[in-house]
């Protein structure tokens, strides 16, 4: 286990570059199962989840090299179709190989990705869609594996009852090689899905967004190699913007993408965050004035993303008045609350009033665990103080690092591996803009 030793209270100042989007890179790697040819993918962040995904693909026989931030990857015609439990279990997204395997090889054996620290996260919507395309998929509880077979996937008209980001992508990855047309309705609208579509189209796929939340895929016989650059990571930009303000600092972000962050930028400006457009790809975020409270509800794109609610909660601990945060996508994404409270934050849970929660929330209502809340109320501002903190999920982890940087005194943040899942060399990048942060190995 590794720990960050952080001495807070110093404003972060300078320029920081956003890396490639984790939630795109992972899916582009999976696309290597769709072709015999080599794929060259640039701007791939070297982080734990990406390395885990490469391990999954290597265990199937895929060849890869990862130099700098460029991955060269080649699946070939003879990859295995069983994901070993020990590699599959480390990464939920490993389940996304299901679509390409069924489309190209007609079979797949995959360990159940199971729940994770932000909720149950089943893949029932992925499976239902693949079944509509002609696959037979069954779950064997004795060995914990999904078994899938498909003679030939065929295009289908599929409506997702509720939104699913990776579910949409899994079905796209299957439909590109299915026979005929697939229409995905109520499909995810995240810009990361568009980057995957751009990549697959560059490999010869025929995918279009045909209406709001509708994607049409005309299956093709085969796909070819391609060279592509992953879009920058929106979640990193939000993390650094909030880091600037909570440390009363001033950060200039390179590889910025304001167009894809409208819902964040609107709220950020409303609460008094300083923002300056330097050029198309550069944005300055800075502490300008005392912050105001806000009410936020997480939503699918183009709404306020669930991935931003943890750092936003930290921002609200520094705001004047009472703020609320209503999480609607995952049933359990407030693990950081107890840790922020250790630092002096004033946060209480509450149950937002919702007419028909079963329909309203994006998670399956059956997965709701007794005692978990969907809302928090934060009263600020509170000067945070140092503490010993534990991280148990990625975005919560990044938030606690920022909290420790903003607090007076020395903090210890345990479970750094969670942050490494989504941020490449975060302590090095933060040190360059003035953070006092050191990684220490624990016995």
Site residues for ligand EPU per CB under 6 A: 23, 26, 93, 119-126, 163-167, 190, 305-307, 329-330, 362-364, 394-395, 422
Which residues, at least 6 apart from 74, have a Cβ–Cβ distance to it below 8 Å?
A: 32, 36, 37, 38, 39, 62, 63, 64
CB of 82 to ligand EPU, least distance (A): 22
Measured CA distances, 66 to 19, 50, 51, 54, 278 (Å): 15, 10, 9, 9, 33
Catalytic-residue membership of 422: no
Closest CA to 338 of 388, 271, 302, 278: 388
Sign of the Cα torsion 128, 131, 135, 136 reads: positive
Measured CA distances, 420 to 1, 387, 427 (Å): 12, 21, 10
Cα–Cα dist 415/397, whole Å: 8
Which residues, at least 6 apart from 338, have a Cβ–Cβ distance to it below 8 Å?
A: none
The structure tokens listed for 70 are 């460029």
Nearer to ligand EPU, 256 or 306 (CB): 306
Cα–Cα dist 227/18, whole Å: 21
**Which one is catalytic: 13, 40, 51, 116?**
116
CB of 39 to ligand EPU, least distance (A): 19
CB of 252 to ligand EPU, least distance (A): 24
Nearer to ligand EPU, 230 or 384 (CB): 230
The structure tokens listed for 127 are 């499976």
Cα–Cα dist 90/81, whole Å: 18
CB of 3 to ligand EPU, least distance (A): 21
CB of 26 to ligand EPU, least distance (A): 6
CB of 11 to ligand EPU, least distance (A): 27
What angle in degrees, to the nearest 10, is found between the helix axes of 234-246 and 394-406? 20
CB 423 within 8 A of CB 236: yes
Nearer to ligand EPU, 75 or 167 (CB): 167
Active site residues: 116
């Amino acid at each position: 286990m590794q720990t960050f030793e952080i001495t807070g209270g110093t404003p972060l100042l300078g320029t920081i570059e956003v890396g490639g989007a984790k939630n795109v890179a992972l899916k582009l790697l999976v696309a290597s199962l769709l072709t015999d040819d080599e794929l060259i993918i640039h701007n791939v962040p070297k982080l734990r989840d990406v390395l885990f995904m490469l391990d999954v693909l290597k265990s199937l026989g895929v060849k890869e090299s990862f130099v700098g931030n460029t991955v060269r990857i080649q699946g070939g015609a003879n990859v295995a179709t069983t994901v070993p439990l020990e590699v599959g279990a480390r990464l939920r997204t490993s389940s996304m190989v299901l679509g390409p395997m069924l489309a190209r090889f007609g079979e797949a054996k995959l360990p159940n990705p199971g729940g994770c620290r932000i909720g149950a996260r089943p893949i029932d919507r992925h499976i239902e869609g693949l079944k509509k395309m002609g696959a037979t998929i069954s779950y064997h509880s004795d060995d914990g594996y999904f078994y899938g077979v498909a003679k030939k996937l065929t295009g289908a008209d599929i409506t997702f009852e509720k939104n699913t980001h990776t579910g949409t992508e899994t079905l796209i990855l299957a439909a590109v090689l299915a026979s005929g047309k697939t229409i995905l309705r109520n499909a995810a609208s995240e810009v990361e899905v568009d980057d995957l579509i751009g990549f697959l189209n560059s490999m010869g796929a025929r995918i279009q967004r045909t209406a709001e939340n509708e994607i049409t895929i005309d299956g093709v016989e085969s796909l070819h190699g391609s060279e592509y650059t992953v879009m920058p990571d929106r979640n990193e930009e939000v993390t650094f913007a909030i880091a600037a303000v909570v440390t009363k600092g001033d950060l200039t972000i390179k590889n910025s993408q304001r167009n894809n962050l409208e819902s964040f930028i609107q709220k950020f400006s409303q609460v008094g965050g300083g923002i300056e457009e330097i050029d198309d790809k550069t944005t300055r975020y800075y502490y300008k004035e005392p912050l105001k409270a806000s009410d936020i509800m997480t939503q699918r794109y183009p709404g306020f993303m669930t991935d931003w609610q943890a750092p936003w909660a930290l921002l609200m601990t520094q705001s004047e008045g009472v703020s609320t945060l209503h999480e609607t996508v995952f049933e359990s994404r407030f693990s950081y609350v107890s840790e922020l409270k250790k630092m002096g934050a004033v946060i209480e849970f509450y149950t937002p009033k919702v007419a028909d929660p079963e329909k309203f929330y994006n998670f399956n209502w059956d997965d709701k665990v007794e005692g978990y809340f969907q809302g928090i109320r934060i009263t600020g501002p509170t000067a945070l103080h140092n503490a010993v903190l534990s991280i148990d999920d990625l975005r919560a982890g990044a938030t606690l690092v920022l909290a420790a940087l903003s607090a007076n005194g020395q903090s210890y943040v345990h479970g750094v591996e969670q942050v490494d899942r989504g941020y490449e060399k975060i302590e090095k990048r933060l040190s360059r803009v003035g953070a006092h942060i050191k990684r220490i190995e624990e016995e």
